[in-house]
Amino acid sequence: MEGIVLALLVCLVLACVTKYLGVPSIPFYIIAGIALGKSGLNLVSADSTSQFFTDLGLIFLLFFMGLELNPSRIIENRTQFLRSGLIDLNVNLFIGFIAAYIFGFTLTESLVVGVAFFVSSTAMTLTSLIENRKLMMHESETIVWMMVFEDLVLIIALAFLARGDSNPLFLFLKVILMFLFFAIIGKYGKGIIKGILKRDDDLPVLFTFSAVLAIAFFSQSIGVPDTLMVIAFGAALAASNATAFEVHAKPFKDVFLVIFFVFFGISVDLSGGISIIAAVVISVLALASKFISGLIIGLRIHGRIMSGIEIGVNTIGRGEFSIALATIFGSAAVSTMIAVVVITTSIIGAFLARYSDVIKAKCMEIS
Amino acid sequence: MNFPEFICAHSPIRYGMVLRSVSLPGIGTKYELKTDKGDTIAVFFMKTGNIQVYTLPKECQAQCVAELSMSEARRLGSILTGAVMDVDQESVEIAFSALSDLRISMQTYIIPKNLVGHSLEETRIRAKTGVTIIAISRKQRNVINPPPSFLFESGDVALVIGETDQLRSFEREFIGE
């Protein structure tokens, strides 16, 4: 328990500093975790309590992601969504997969690294668009929909990772059935749910917390991974009560996710992992792959190289979802690789996104 | 937080401007408006609760941004709709530009000693000056639309509504400035 308190206090200081400097906090939580954990000072180690908190972090992260997945909105925007998303997927999955395979990972491990290469950090990307005041750019809409596409690919990846012995098609069928079941409850119970969530006492928070936890727990009994179940639950509520749920689930997500990040860092084992050269190569590739996919999307959709640069730099940062993949997959070498990718791309990406105007001006000069 | 109705009330067709509203997952709702003169204004109601307003003048690459809190946005909104709230220390003037420039002033006054113990009816404030007392603030309690039988107590604060001239006349007659 004192380990969690120590880790949280370090993260609190880091949160203050990173907010003050306007840089993303996720990479620093991981670095703090590495420093405190077995690769560093060995002050904090994971136990069953921390495991419970990190599970909650993952569950609330994915529940939140589900709340943003409004199926009807996705269908309305399908053209833009598919065009940009598929380019993004092909380029990054390919580069990540090949790189990992060359470094000696197995096929499955390489695929996980490939997907982790592909999924940008939605939190960091959206925050950077807002903080750098770029929402009005036409590219912003493309970027936002790319994030949604990435979420969908992540769901498929999670299903394949967690399926165990069962048939993936059968698993998807179960998830879709659960989604429909939640959607019906969400639709016909909208009034009741709204009534509960609107109250200003302790009921809305208690309701949100226990509903998410109960569903994660319930998933085990029907053989569906809790990760997919909470996404389905979130997505089913997206059309009816998304905002109210977001408001009440946010405090849980904010706190547990920090614990999730720092304990991911604590679990990273640098000694048995990858060499410095491999880390540098993989970081450069991770930066380059999003830049390339951004350029292609910019040219194809907006017809401008400059749009491509903007899309590239704003999507470079990998974060929460890549780490989620690493955690669920649970291989030490893959985790180390993804930790390196997340730390370098999120820090460098944040600076590139902030100074994208300078980069674009320089590119103009050169051309 | 339901702004769409408010915005849709200004029918884009009637004013000949192009209004587009998009919901952006994770960000919020975007309203983009292209004016007749070719300038673009984009408003983002963000999940953070704040509002970013972008303006992009015609044939210009660089956009300008302002980030507003909810209350600042409301204030800006009331300026844009023409109900300008000119807030003074204790008085407010509201102008409805659409209603042939109707202007109404409101001001708060501490009830003077000579009115204490009298009812609203007895004082004949409205008959003499034209102003109406629309609310009384008494310690922790507020009385909206006090009845004619309402008795003033010492320490009462009255919210008085009328034309600026009528308010001045009320001040001369009753407040004694």
Alpha-carbon gap: A219 to the closest alpha carbon of chain B (Å): 26
Task: Check which CATH number belongs to the domain holding B97 and give it.
Answer: 3.30.70.1450
- Tell how many helices (H) and how many strands (E) occur in chain A: 17, 0
- Rounded to an integer, the average pLDDT of A321-325 is 92
C-alpha distances (whole Å) from B52 to each of A100, A122, A133, B9 are 41, 20, 8, 21
pTM of the predicted structure, to 2 decimals: 0.76
Determine the Cα–Cα distance for residues B110 and A94; give it in Å rounded to an integer: 76
Of B26, B40, B44, the CB nearest to A122: B26
* Same-domain pairing of B138 and B102: yes
**A116 pLDDT exceeds 90?**
yes
- Interface touch A141/B1, C-beta < 8 Å: no
**A56 pLDDT exceeds 80?**
yes
- Domain holding B49, by residue range, is 4-81
pLDDT reported for residue A98? 94
- Rounded to an integer, the average pLDDT of A57-70 is 90
* Same-domain pairing of B57 and B133: no
Of A141, A243, A246, the CB nearest to B24: A141
- Interface touch B42/A148, C-beta < 8 Å: no
pLDDT reported for residue A284? 94
pLDDT reported for residue B105? 84
- Interface touch B23/A73, C-beta < 8 Å: yes
A141 touches chain B (CB under 8 A): yes
* Same-domain pairing of B57 and B120: no
* Same-domain pairing of B171 and B90: yes
Final residue of a structural domain among B49, B81, B113: B81
* Same-domain pairing of B72 and B124: no
pLDDT (tens digit per residue) in A144-185: 999 999 999 998 888 888 766 667 778 888 888 888 988 888
* Same-domain pairing of B109 and B170: yes
pLDDT reported for residue B13? 42
The DSSP bridge partners found for residue B161 are B106, B132
Determine the Cα–Cα distance for residues A86 and A98; give it in Å rounded to an integer: 18
* Same-domain pairing of B59 and B75: yes
The DSSP bridge partners found for residue B105 are B93, B162
* Same-domain pairing of B38 and B106: no
pLDDT reported for residue B94? 74
Final residue of a structural domain among B36, B66, B81: B81
List chain A residues with CB under 8 Å of B26: 68, 122, 126, 144, 147
**Could you give the domains of chain A?**
2-366 (1.20.1530.20)
For tokens 């308010």, the residue is B167
Final residue of a structural domain among B14, B49, B81: B81
* Same-domain pairing of B103 and B152: yes
C-alpha distances (whole Å) from B33 to each of B14, B25, B64 are 14, 20, 15
* Same-domain pairing of B40 and B102: no
> For residue B46, which of B19, B65, B64, B68 has the smallest C-alpha distance?
B68
- Interface touch A147/B25, C-beta < 8 Å: yes
pLDDT (tens digit per residue) in A251-266: 999 999 999 999 999 9
* Same-domain pairing of B74 and B100: no
Binned at pLDDT 50, 70 and 90, residue A276 comes out as confident
The ipTM is 0.78
* Same-domain pairing of B123 and B154: yes
A231 touches chain B (CB under 8 A): no
Of B27, B54, B65, the CB nearest to A126: B27
The mean of the pLDDT values for chain A is 88
pLDDT (tens digit per residue) in A330-354: 788 888 889 999 999 999 999 999 8
Per-residue model confidence as pLDDT tens for chain B (177 residues) = 334 433 333 334 444 567 788 888 888 889 988 888 888 899 999 988 899 999 988 877 778 899 999 888 887 887 787 665 444 446 677 777 667 667 788 888 888 888 888 998 888 999 989 999 999 988 778 889 999 998 998 888 888 998 888 888 888 888 765
The total domain count for chain B is 2
- Of all residues in chain A, the one with the smallest CA distance to B23 is A73
Binned at pLDDT 50, 70 and 90, residue A119 comes out as very high
Backbone angles phi, psi at B162, to 5 degrees: 170, -175
Give the DSSP H or E segment for A257: helix A226-267
In this prediction, what percent of chain A has a pLDDT beyond 70?
Answer: 98
- Interface touch A135/B22, C-beta < 8 Å: no
